[in-house]
Chain A
Amino acid sequence: MDKKTILENGLLEQYLLGELNAKEREQIEQALASDTELKVHFDQLEQDFETLGLENAITPPPFIKSQLLKNIKPSSVAPKVVEMQPNKTKFYFGIAASIAAFLLVSSFWLYNELNTTKQQLQTVETNNTELNSTIESLNQKLNANQYLYAAIVHPDTEQYILKGNALMPEGKVVSYVNHSTKSVVINTERLPQLDAEHDYQMWADIEGEMINMGVISKDTNLMAMNYIDHAESLNITIEPAGGNDHPTVERLVTNVYLK
């Protein structure tokens, strides 16, 4: 079918409006495919009809569109995806929520655990420090006692008993003197208790001069004193707390002569 016939008979318009039968449609489509000018004319025609249509548009009620979108769902594959998405989302949201809840609970638990552990650690540290100091003091005591024991049991050690005089009739001190190791250890178990303002002090007598051997501790029953060479006797006096430079002879409570 030639272009002139098509144009003069208004076949493009009728084709566009869908008035033609299948055979005519096919002829027009062939003509359009082979004739660019005719196609341009047809494009123009289509555009004009479309503009005409849009100019006369009447907005349909909104429910038609919502019905349409609802109705297309069961007939296609797409809705399955659309329907599943919320489920999936819910599913994932559920998982996420569970994880979040679990994390929340477990972090709370961990926090508590951490606090408990911290407290326990602190206790352990305190105990450890206490134990260390106890061990230290025990070690010191042990060392001291070992020294004292060694001094007492030494074969060269000699024992001298200082018996209390009239000022201290009930009291006595046992002393262990070793001239080879130059040590003096005394047992003060039987020394009567003094008030806080006084201490017992020990002296060595060398040719009439009293040399300080040390203040006797109130805390222990066995203690080492300073060894003084060539001492003739051991003497104990009561002195003001902390000891004295010179002995208060009036308050001599006991003495013993060394052989």
Chain B
Amino acid sequence: MQNDNRLIQQLQQKDERALSLLYDKYAGAIYSVILKMIRDEGKAQNLLQDTFMTVWEKAESYDASKGRFYTWVYRIAKNKVLNVLRKTDPLIQTDDFSVYNQKEDAISIDTEYLELNGAVTKLEAHHKQAIELVYFKGMTHREAHEVMDVPLGTFKSYVRQALKQLRDSYAKMLSLLLLILNAL
């Protein structure tokens, strides 16, 4: 990801090619998060485009010393989705509860999009769910611990443990990869 630095610099200088390359690299991951949060393909597509528009327009405000580019984009996407969800929520809650229920039931989205892949699937169910809630559903820790019906502290340790296991599994993957590369 070191070679991103150059692309990001070019992006900050309004280089369309840099945007195109960074989009190719990260749009899939971001799209997945947006889909899982909003559960609507059409809206997800608009939000994805909107996210990268903001990336383009606000590129100068990204500060590499404060974190990774992907984290920055993730936060932009998440905020955009949450804004849409918040706008919708009061309407549903004040006017018509049935719409909310209907909406939950009548989600026009391929369930495949909601499934998780990779190392996270190998985690224990509660670890996996903790990650899913905070990372893919965009819930805060406070919201998520209520959904899981465990104390906040417990939830936090779930997240921590889950991340530790992911860490181990990625490290293994990395060393395996290095092993294969060395063997080649």
Contact = CB atoms under 8 A, between A and B. Distances in A.
A94 to B, nearest CB: 26
23 contacts: A10-B141, A13-B134, A13-B160, A19-B140, A46-B68, A53-B29, A53-B30, A54-B28, A55-B120, A56-B29, A56-B116, A57-B28, A57-B29, A57-B31, A57-B32, A58-B28, A58-B113, A60-B31, A65-B23, A68-B53, A69-B16, A71-B53, A77-B14
A64 interface: yes
B48 A76 contact: no
Given A48-B170, A68-B52, A72-B19, A16 B159 contact: no
Nearest to B27: A60
Contact of A51 (B19, B20, B170): B170
What secondary structure prevails in chain A residues at the interface with B? helix
B66 to A, nearest CB: 6
A64 B34 CA distance: 14
Contact of B35 (A9, A16, A58): A58
Interface in B128-184: 131, 134-136, 140-141, 156, 159-160, 163, 166-167, 170
Given A59-B31, A64-B45, A69 B20 contact: yes
The 10 closest A-B pairs by CB, nearest first: A55-B118, A57-B28, A53-B29, A18-B75, A10-B156, A60-B31, A58-B32, A57-B29, A50-B70, A78-B14
Nearest to A33: B65
A155 interface: no
Contacts of B15: 78
Given A17-B78, A19-B140, A48-B167, A61 B116 contact: no
B119 interface: yes
Contacts of B49: 64, 67-68, 71
Interface of A: 9-10, 13-14, 16-19, 29, 32-33, 42-61, 64-65, 67-69, 71-72, 75-79, 82
B117 interface: yes
A18 B139 CA distance: 10
A56 B117 contact: yes
Contact of B66 (A13, A29, A47, A57): A29
Nearest to B113: A58
Contacts of B89: none
B131 A52 contact: yes
